[in-house]
Chain A
Amino acid sequence: MTFNSLTFIAFFAIVWLLHNLPFSWRTKKINLLIASYVFYAAWNPPFILLLWASTFIDWKVAHWIDRTEEPRRRKQVMLLSVVFNLGMLGYFKYGGFLLQSFQALAAGVGIEYTPPAWDIVLPIGISFYTFVTMSYTLDVYLRRARPGKSFLDFALFVTYFPHLVAGPILRPTDLLPQFERESRATAQQVKWGLMLMTLGLFNKIVIADGLLAPVTDKVYGAKDALPMLDAWLGTLAFSGQIFCDFAGYTTTAIGASLVLGISLIDNFRYPYASIGFSDFWRRWHISLSTWLRDYLYVPLGGNRKGPGRTYVNLMLTMLLGGLWHGAAWTFVVWGGLHGLFLVGERLLKQAWGRLAVWDSWPGKVLLGALTYALVNITWVFFRAHDFPNAWRVLGAMLGFGPDGKPVLTTWLIVSVTVPIAALLATHAYMRERDLHVEIARWPVALVGLAWGAMLFLIAATQGGSSAFIYFQF
């Protein structure tokens, strides 16, 4: 079920009620676990079996690793978990992609091959929960953590509904300690949680779906050449749409969890105010970037084996990070571009990074604007459904190709420029600030007015329970 649905409102009300009845902590956790399975099964009940399998296997494997001293044996057992999780991910997510790629490769060398139809439904959130369970096993393997003592706590850690289908990608240490001892939400946590849920749903329903998605769809759905203005506006709209959609999901998840008295980590920190790509990845999908850092980049050698190897590791990490998002070469290119920009940034820093101008206000604005512009270039490949689509939009953005036919009406132009300007101003202002600190500085009446206005705009926009973009990953 999606957060922006009536079903979730009813579901959450029941969960909250049960969680506040005078049950034991263990009973409350069992309630949360059952609720989380209901949350997942409400989309497609049979796929809950995969979730159970992933939970059970990683629980067993982690304990097995912990009992095993012999290094080679430990590695073999760890690989069991990796092969199972990545195998499951590969089958459901990448099977069709691999077949198509093989078909294209065969055609390239003159072999005609028609693969069988691959009508496999992608289980929602599979990329997220496989990474969550793998991190548990890998942490135990790397002796960063001991396996948990309670299967109930572990199952709830994997399945806990706020983060289950679209993150944040949690580590055992993010949640298990909270499950070990009883916690009851304070009144302040409940109210702040509700405010965050409102903010998250406002981002999703009003900004992402209501204002920006129609612009993106119009531009990326155009069959003919586009003018530069329309191409840029469509891509800027997508930059805002994907942020408000994904950060909206995360903010709602954090808020819902806080209402239940459980704290989730941040996943975004105003990424469009980033100065450089390393800064961007400290602010965008933080839980994924730290996961890739700890379980891929560092094991590959990180930056400990010289500059050349560092660049290779960066590229590999980002290419695989791109592929994690979707089974298509466009996502690989997206990841590859981010890798190139990260490498380029390192080289430029070595050459000119010490110049005083970069610490000045105009210098920072210039670098921030450049970063945002380049991030938008990468979004083209993320949003386009294929390469011809991407080249058409990118060509128009960069002024190549024929001047096309405009597709955006005046209203659509307004509906992208106003929210994007507001979004960039907010990110710039909040770059070094925290929301809970900033909100506390506002007059209470202003907070209430803004909160009530967001609630009204959500209700007036109506929405349509459309799925969050990251559900497909």
Chain B
Amino acid sequence: MPSSISSSDGAREARIEPGQLGALPYVRPLPQMRAGAALLIAMAVFAIALAGWEAYWRDWGSEPAIRNSPGLWSIQRRRIDHGEGDRTVIIGSSRMLFDVQLPVWERVGGERPIQLAIEGTSPLPVMEQLADDPDFTGRLVIGVAPDLFFTGFTYVSDKYELYPKETPSERVAQRLSMNLLEPWLAYYDEDFALITVLKRQSWPTRPGVPAFMSVRKLAVSQADRGTHMWSKVEDDPEYARLCQRVWAQDFGEVPFESADVLQKKIAGEIDRAMKAAAKLRAKGVQMVFVRAPSDADYLAYEDRWFPRATTWDVLLEKTGVPGIHFEDHPAMQGLRLPEWSHLAAADAGKYTAALQPLVEQAFAAQRKGD
């Protein structure tokens, strides 16, 4: 507590001096120095250091792009509640985000869908959000990445959590950032934030603490969340191997504590999907599940713990929603996945061109069923 409380000097308390209105105004003391010169030097140091930092990241392969931020997701999500609720909406995880090319989809099908897929995250929370949103009456393409969908894994929940509570200030900040900073600055990416860079240096391992590598930058986004694989992943084999090593950290062990727990989790997530699908169907929403390609060790991992027969097939059967699995379509085979999980940008275009008509067929079949 302040002096008078802790002081034993009773007289001190009697001298509380809150002052009187009309008293002399308080004036903050200032340093007696050449602050103008200091400001000029500061501006020069800032400009030189920032230019150097920017040049370093451009040389490393980064280029200015729109950040795939929660605010950007909210802009797309808001479209549904502002007159575009009858649109085709894509949800899922990073495979739907990187592999579905919006310009190709629009060229083939005539409509540019709303991209709401969230990297590293099960689409079920968003599916449930849309099921409860009376404004959404459109068509839903739901990506299924087995290790995320059937475990309910959430890597970035802040995207769908921000939307219902986004403040006016946050909306303005998002607009300012995507118009004034992001199109011009290559370093302005969360992967190149100073603390992240420091954290990823090769610090000595502490006994007993697992050295877990976090997912690296994999893609580049545009303002409508149209996203494609970052060229460095495609062109730099060492970087691609680093990304593979990040995935491989999960391949050794059973997800969750035991195989039994995993089976219960899978059943629980399918149950969630059933309920959400029933709600969506009740309001006339057409749906299709999409299993995008994976490759090599990643595919082997998925097949081991999430075999198609006990996950994908059960999901389609229980929800009654049609599905498009890459293994069933020759046009979706033989594509290039530099880090085993996502398609190279050019092949993502081919994949989208093959996927879009199949999605249309699935929707058409549901319309006939009505």
Give the contacts of A433-448 with B (CB-CB under 8 A).
Answer: 434-437, 439-440, 442, 444-445, 447-448
B39-A191 in contact (CB<8A): yes
Is B258 located at the chain interface by the 8 A CB criterion?
A: no
Q: Which of B8, B19, B209 contacts A303 (CB 8 A)?
A: B8
Is B190 located at the chain interface by the 8 A CB criterion?
A: yes
Is B296 located at the chain interface by the 8 A CB criterion?
A: no
Interface flags for B170-202 (1: CB within 8 Å of A; 0: not) read 101100110011000001101001110011010
Binding site for A on B (CB under 8 A): 1-8, 10, 13, 16, 18-46, 49-50, 53, 167-170, 172-173, 176-177, 180-181, 187-188, 190, 193-195, 198-199, 201, 203-209, 211
CA distance in complex: A447, B36 (Å): 11
Nearest A residue to B33, CB-CB:
A440
Chain A residues near B20: list those with CB within 8 A: 144-146, 173
Closest 10 CB pairs of A and B: A448-B41, A452-B45, A278-B6, A451-B42, A173-B19, A191-B35, A1-B169, A42-B169, A263-B28, A452-B42
Given contacts A42-B168, A342-B6, A409-B206, contact A192 B30 (CB under 8 A): yes
Of listed B1, B4, B199, residue having the most chain A CB within 10 A: B1
Of listed B6, B34, B53, B169, residue having the most chain A CB within 10 A: B6
Q: List 10 A-B contacts (CB under 8 A).
A: A43-B167, A139-B18, A186-B30, A289-B2, A297-B1, A346-B8, A406-B208, A410-B206, A415-B195, A448-B38
Chain A residues near B207: list those with CB within 8 A: 406
A346 to chain B, nearest CB (A): 7
Is A351 located at the chain interface by the 8 A CB criterion?
A: no
B46-A452 in contact (CB<8A): yes
CA distance in complex: A43, B167 (Å): 5
Given contacts A452-B42, A452-B44, contact A263 B167 (CB under 8 A): no
| Segment among A100-108, A392-400, A455-463 that sits at the interface with chain B | A455-463
B58 to chain A, nearest CB (A): 15
Is A318 located at the chain interface by the 8 A CB criterion?
A: yes
B13-A436 in contact (CB<8A): no
Is A194 located at the chain interface by the 8 A CB criterion?
A: yes
Is A33 located at the chain interface by the 8 A CB criterion?
A: no
Q: Which of B37, B169, B173 contacts A444 (CB 8 A)?
A: B37
Give the contacts of A127-144 with B (CB-CB under 8 A).
Answer: 139, 144
CA distance in complex: A10, B173 (Å): 9
Is A20 located at the chain interface by the 8 A CB criterion?
A: no
Is A117 located at the chain interface by the 8 A CB criterion?
A: no
Is A210 located at the chain interface by the 8 A CB criterion?
A: yes
A406-B203 in contact (CB<8A): no
Q: Which of A5, A139, A144, A189 contacts B173 (CB 8 A)?
A: A5
B31 to chain A, nearest CB (A): 4
B4-A452 in contact (CB<8A): no
CA distance in complex: A298, B22 (Å): 25
Q: Which of B16, B30, B204 contacts A189 (CB 8 A)?
A: B30
A414-B203 in contact (CB<8A): yes
B37-A289 in contact (CB<8A): no
Chain B residues near A461: list those with CB within 8 A: 193-195
A436-B30 in contact (CB<8A): yes
B35-A44 in contact (CB<8A): no
Given contacts A45-B168, A178-B26, A195-B35, contact A282 B2 (CB under 8 A): yes
B19-A346 in contact (CB<8A): no
Chain A residues near B29: list those with CB within 8 A: 434, 436
Q: Which of A6, A43, A304, A434 contacts B177 (CB 8 A)?
A: A6
Give the contacts of A171-192 with B (CB-CB under 8 A).
Answer: 171-174, 176-178, 180-181, 183, 186-189, 191-192
Q: Which of A5, A195, A345, A346 contacts B38 (CB 8 A)?
A: A195
Nearest A residue to B34, CB-CB:
A444
Q: Which of B176, B177, B187, B205 contacts A460 (CB 8 A)?
A: B187
Q: Which of A148, A192, A210, A408 contacts B209 (CB 8 A)?
A: A408
Given contacts A264-B28, A447-B38, contact A289 B1 (CB under 8 A): yes
Q: Which of A297, A437, A453 contacts B49 (CB 8 A)?
A: A453
Chain A residues near B204: list those with CB within 8 A: 410
B193-A462 in contact (CB<8A): yes
Given contacts A10-B172, A278-B1, A290-B2, 10 further A-B contacts (CB under 8 A): A7-B169, A42-B168, A174-B26, A278-B6, A303-B7, A318-B1, A414-B203, A440-B33, A449-B45, A452-B41
Chain B residues near A345: list those with CB within 8 A: 6
Give the contacts of A417-447 with B (CB-CB under 8 A).
Answer: 434-437, 439-440, 442, 444-445, 447
CA distance in complex: A189, B312 (Å): 66
B39-A298 in contact (CB<8A): no
Is A63 located at the chain interface by the 8 A CB criterion?
A: no
Is A314 located at the chain interface by the 8 A CB criterion?
A: yes
A144-B169 in contact (CB<8A): no
Nearest B residue to A448, CB-CB:
B41
Is A73 located at the chain interface by the 8 A CB criterion?
A: no
B143 to chain A, nearest CB (A): 27
CA distance in complex: A198, B39 (Å): 11
Nearest A residue to B16, CB-CB:
A294
Chain B residues near A437: list those with CB within 8 A: 31
B10-A303 in contact (CB<8A): yes
Chain A residues near B24: list those with CB within 8 A: 177
Chain B residues near A178: list those with CB within 8 A: 25-26
Chain A residues near B7: list those with CB within 8 A: 278, 303
Is A292 located at the chain interface by the 8 A CB criterion?
A: yes
